[in-house]
Structure 1
Amino acid sequence: MSQDHDEALVRMVNQIAANLGPGREEADAAEGVCTHLEKFWARAMKRRIVACLDAPDGGLAPLARRGVERLAERQAD
């Protein structure tokens, strides 16, 4: 997959976090992001967004990053 595709995934997860974050506790919002990714994203998309955690400036918003980190933890189990 291309860097453009990764950037698109980052944009999408940032939008998800922006929509799920307001009015919720941070932990609940991060869980919501993770749950959304688990339910609606294809396996390949989840692998690519988790790989973006290793990028020095991956572009993930703080809440999006926390949601993706939870996803990575669950995939490691």
Structure 2
Amino acid sequence: MVPGEFDDVAGDPPVGMAWRTIVIEAQPGARSRQAIALPTGVDTDALDDEDLFDLFVQVAPPGARQMIASLRKVKLPGRGHA
């Protein structure tokens, strides 16, 4: 996470934690980002997509799962054409 990336995240994370950003790609060009404080020792590279999605849903605002599902159904103009 970079400073100023999220309006609702201010200050330092809780002791022993680090701010991270989870990015969910619903489809190429349609993404949703969510800030999360994770324990400093967590190796996010070791987490698979399902683990990251579960974390995203836990901390995202209500309705985030439905928003991602809706975005996955929409055909964005200019996407998927060869």
Give the TM bin, normalised by the shorter chain. 0.3 to 0.5
Higher helix share: 1
Higher strand share: 2
**Normalization by structure 1: what TM-score?**
0.35
The higher radius of gyration belongs to 2
